[in-house]
Amino acid sequence: MTGDLERRYRRVLRLLPGWYRQQWEQDMVAAFLDSWLTGDREADEYISKVAGPSWAEVTSVAVLAVRLHLAGPGTPRRSAWGQAIRRAVLAVALMHALLAVNVLVFLMWGRRLVGWLPAPPASLVVAPGGVWDMVYYLVCLAWIVIFLTLAFGHYRTARVLAVPAIVPGVVALLQAQLTGIMPAPFGPWIFWVLVDFAPVLAMTAFHRDAPPTAPRPWLLALPAGYVLVYGPLLALQVTGNFGWLPDFSGLCCILVSLACLAHAPRARSRQATGPGLWSLTLVLLAAVAGAYRIVTLTDYLHDPHLINVSLVELLIVLAAVALVAPDAARALAATPAPPPPRPRTMAT
């Protein structure tokens, strides 16, 4: 009688991990059906035909599914993935923060807000902007705060700030798409999906049972990263060597490749501690950088030189990640897959 309704709910529950469904699905279906059925045979038959999960119910199951997939109870393998994802999210937030610091430094320098600095080259002068510029600067500030709150372990605050921080980006993209002023077909969208949306979604891996992050190395990474990443880029800009400046996806490929190269000796050493978690993190970051590079190739179809440069960047990141991938695979192989859960013993 209630088969149709039950089937619709079971379809939604397929979002949940198998081990969780084995334990909870039956009970969840009963609760869903309880929320609809009245006990009156005719009414229930009608309800079963027309009713189904609301968007709010589907969303609540989807949110639970994301949390369980990213941060389910601690089997070693899941814990390894969880830690790698948390480090990858912190790395992306660091990249956002570096970008933001750079934007704000240029803003202050370009508008001569710091009197003792020499006048910037004409190419770096920032003209006064409108409302969108103001929103952009606020988003930049927000990413610095998000990175710091994540590093200090205030995960909930970081999540709350991150959601509004990615909204202006998608609004601007929609506006550009609808008004036909989108500079490239896919690049800006894939930037938003991979570098804004996915990390914010993955912030669910920072659950309250997650082991705390050591803030010191991440806090040091902000000034050090700025000097190491944007120092050379600034030098190229100031000296007018714009042809050597990589685009953002190229920069991501170069940075991930350098990180893989720096980590490779440790990954290959048998004395390495923390079994392959950094290798796993770098594999995740390389996958993001590689995907971003592949999609943005389509932005350069008109320019064979840029296509060649992009392909070289892609090859470099592939070669670099190959150095740490075996260590990442060992880390996962060393941790057994979760055993199938036993049914709970129920008191009767």
Partner 1 sequence: MTGQAFFVLTALADGPRHGYGIVGEVAELSQDRVKLKIGSLYGVLERLAAEGLIEPDREEAHDGRLRRYYRLTRDGRRALAEEAELRAATARVVRARLRLTGAQATG
Residues forming contacts to partner 1 in the complex (CB under 8 A) are 2, 20, 24, 26-35, 37, 39, 56-57, 59-64, 67, 73, 344, 346-348
CA dihedral sign of residues 72, 78, 84, 88: negative
Q: Which is nearer to partner 1, 38 or 179 (CB)?
A: 38
State how far the Cα of 190 lies from the Cα of 311, in Å rounded to an integer: 18
Q: Which is nearer to partner 1, 26 or 308 (CB)?
A: 26
Residue whose C-alpha is closest to residue 94's, from 212, 268, 215: 215
Buried b or exposed e, range 304-326, using 16+ CB within 10 angstroms: eebeeebeebbebbeebbebbbe
Closest distance between partner 1 and the C-beta of residue 160, in Å? 14
C-alpha dist (Å) from residue 305 to 300, 308, 309, 311: 9, 5, 6, 10
DSSP 8-state secondary structure symbol assigned to residue 300: G
Q: Where are the alpha helices (DSSP H) in 72-206?
A: 76-110, 131-151, 155-179, 187-191, 198-202
Closest distance between partner 1 and the C-beta of residue 74, in Å? 9
Q: Which is nearer to partner 1, 53 or 110 (CB)?
A: 53
Closest distance between partner 1 and the C-beta of residue 67, in Å? 7
Closest distance between partner 1 and the C-beta of residue 275, in Å? 25
Q: Which is nearer to partner 1, 63 or 117 (CB)?
A: 63
Element (H or E) spanning 68, and its range? helix 55-71
State how far the Cα of 343 lies from the Cα of 129, in Å rounded to an integer: 62
Q: Which is nearer to partner 1, 62 or 233 (CB)?
A: 62
State how far the Cα of 343 lies from the Cα of 13, in Å rounded to an integer: 18
Written as six digits, the tokens of 255 are: 């940075």
State how far the Cα of 40 lies from the Cα of 1, in Å rounded to an integer: 11
Closest distance between partner 1 and the C-beta of residue 77, in Å? 17
Q: Which residue has the tokens 């055993």?
A: 339
Task: List Cβ neighbours of 214 (8 Å cut-off, separation of 6 or more).
Answer: none
The length of the chain is 348
Closest distance between partner 1 and the C-beta of residue 32, in Å? 6
Closest distance between partner 1 and the C-beta of residue 215, in Å? 24
State how far the Cα of 64 lies from the Cα of 23, in Å rounded to an integer: 14
Q: Which is nearer to partner 1, 216 or 344 (CB)?
A: 344
Q: Which is nearer to partner 1, 56 or 114 (CB)?
A: 56
Closest distance between partner 1 and the C-beta of residue 201, in Å? 16
Q: Which is nearer to partner 1, 30 or 174 (CB)?
A: 30
